[in-house]
Every structure is written in structure tokens, then in C-alpha cells.
Amino acid sequence: MKTSKKLLALLPAIALVAASCGGSDDDSSSEASTDTAASTDTAAPVETDAPEEVDQTQAGDLTFHMITHSDDGPFWSVVQRGADAAAEDLGVTLVWKPGVNDAQVMVQDIEAAVAEGSDGIAASLPDPDALVGPLQAAVAEGIPVITLNSGANDYQAIGALTHVGQSEDVAGNGAGERFNDAGATKVLCAFQEQGNVGLEERCNGLAETFGGETVIEFMGLDADTTEQQNTINAFLAADPDIDGVLGVGPVITMSALRAAQDLGRDLTIGGFDMTPDLLGAIEAGDVAFTVDQQQYLQGYMPVLLMYLNVTNQNTLGGGLPILTGPGFVTTDNATAVIELSAAGTR
């Protein structure tokens, strides 16, 4: 069984703690030991089988793959930073494979990872129809699989160890409640990726709890923010009853804000995830909130969980997903989160 250098380095400290906590409750035994030690001029050396040096290569030959629909934008860069940090902390190799919102690219990367004999695969699941099968094949080859970000409703069908992320419909529910509190009556739920089930769940969750009317529409890709903003502008201009917009990503949320400002419309605007621009808009009071799914954890935790499963047969979650959200960033906590975002971990 492979054990990391860092874990082995903790063993002497653990032994000391055990020794300090494991003594007898009988004070006479302690006193007898003290008297014996005091009457001996030179204490005999204690023999131990513990190695004097730790093998630095014990975990270095593990290679994990993280295969996502990442577009390498501001959200996914934080996920990658978390994954890289975990790999460095544990002394393993991480292969990062961004699919750039193309499920077929992800399928090819999963199949290549299986062929290479990956020690573990962490994958997002934006298109279950395309991705469940290849990940089931990885499990059949004995490779531990963990889903992250999107996939909370499908990871069990894969046979994955667990899912790390947020429940997208529950996050949408929370957004709907915030629009209710703001007094909105008609909300546009604007999404930026067609066929992404996670984004659909966010909008559907909004519709479940929002007391007014919900309009769900594709408003263009994040890759072209000018077109995205113009599309939202035209949609808002055609429907003066819309008094709220939920962007299901940080870039489209800012496109919605600019579109509303161009039209001179005072709308309640909410978003998902974070960028410096979006956090600044929340701090300034121009955006009411954003849903925080703590994506740094979505990168860090799967690497840690795969490592513990391979080296120590550990599992977490008890068959349930490990939730990283939803939380909410509002004017109340935006300043503190901005500082962490500048450090690259939020």
C-alpha cells in the first residue's frame, strides 16, 4: 500500500500524543516508574523498527485525470488551482483536460485516460447521455471515478465513489426565494450553454420557488459577450414587464447588468459563481447576489478523495453527494470574498 511522505511524517507526533493520553489512571504506577528512572544512572536506548528516512517516491507514481467541460475562464481557473494544490500537497501527478463545453472531446479524453491506466478520474457531467457510458467503462476497468460540478443526479448510475458540487436545483430554489424577497414579479433566467443539464436545473429550481413568472431563454455564449449583451438587451426591450434577471454564470450576469444599464432599467439582478467584476458589482449594489458553489473545493476534494481511496480504501459521502454549496455572496460579505478572490481561491 502506498503512503504519502506527509502522512508518514505525522506518525511520530501521533505516537507522542497516544503516549501522553494512554497512561494508567493508577498514580502509584506512575510514581513507581519515576522512582525506577531516578535510580538508574543511564537510561537504556529504546529500540524501534521505524525507518530513519521516509521514501520520497511512495506516492509519486500515482496519476489522476480531471476531465471537465472547462473553458479555462475565471470559474474553471479556480477549480484547476484547487486541483493543482491538492496534487502538490499529496505528491501525485494531475492531468488537467478541459473539454471547452464539447462533450465529445471529454469522451475522447476519458477513453484516453482509461487506456493510459489512470489511477483515478474526476469528471464533470454536463451531458449525461454522452458521458455516463465512458465513465461506466472506466469503473468497469477498476478505475475510481468521482464526478464534480455537474452530475449530482447521475453519479450513482456511473458507479462513481461520490459527487462533489452543489445541488443545482436547490441552488435555483434559493435564488427564487431571493427574488421573492426583492419583490420581483417576472424574472428572465438567462443561460449561456445549450444542452448543459446543470444550467437547466438552476433555471428550473428558480421556477419552483419564485412566486412570479419565470422566462427561461438561451442568450448566447460567454465567448462573445458583445453578442450576448445585445441579445439580452433586445429581449428586455421587447418585454417591459421583466423586472429581474438571473444569469446562471458570472459572465452572462455581467452582460445582463450592462444590458439593463444601457436601457436605463432598474432590475433586480442575481447570478451564479464569481469573477472580480461580478463581485465588484455586488459590492457596489448593482447586483443583488450571486450563488457561491465554492469551486476551489470542487477541484481540491476529488483529488484528495481519489488519493485516499487508492492508498487507503477510504470513501466519503455514504452514497450521498458531498455538497460545496449553495452559499450566497451579497453586499454583506462581498468585501471579504473579494480579498479571497484576489488570492485565487474563491
Q: Domain extents for the chain?
A: 63-167+295-325, 168-292
- For residue 127, what pLDDT is reported? 94
H-assigned helices in the chain:
5-9, 11-21, 27-38, 74-90, 103-115, 128-140, 155-158, 168-182, 197-209, 225-238, 250-263, 276-283, 295-312, 334-342
The CATH code for residues 168-292 is 3.40.50.2300
Tens of each residue's pLDDT in the chain, 346 residues: 344 444 444 333 333 333 333 333 333 333 333 343 333 344 444 444 444 443 333 556 999 999 999 987 888 999 999 999 999 999 999 999 999 999 999 999 999 999 999 999 999 999 999 999 999 999 999 999 999 999 988 999 999 999 999 999 999 999 999 999 999 999 999 999 998 888 999 999 999 999 999 999 999 999 999 999 999 999 999 999 999 999 999 999 999 999 999 999 999 999 999 988 999 999 999 999 999 999 999 999 999 999 999 999 999 999 899 999 999 999 999 999 999 988 888 8
Question: What is the full DSSP assignment across 44-86?
Answer: PPPP----SS--TTSSTT-EEEEEE---SSHHHHHHHHHHHHH
Q: Which helix (H) or strand (E) holds 328?
A: strand 327-329
Residue with cell 444590458: 259
Predicted local confidence at residue 197, as pLDDT: 87
Examine domains 63-167+295-325 and 168-292 and report if their fold is the same: yes
Fold of the domain spanning 63-167+295-325: Rossmann fold (3.40.50)
Please state the φ and ψ torsions of residue 188, each to the nearest 5 degrees.
Answer: -90, 120
- Predicted confidence at residue 346, as pLDDT, reads 87
Confidence at residue 59, expressed as pLDDT on a 0 to 100 scale: 56
- Give the whole-angstrom CA distance, residue 324 versus residue 305: 14
The per-residue pLDDT for 253 is: 98
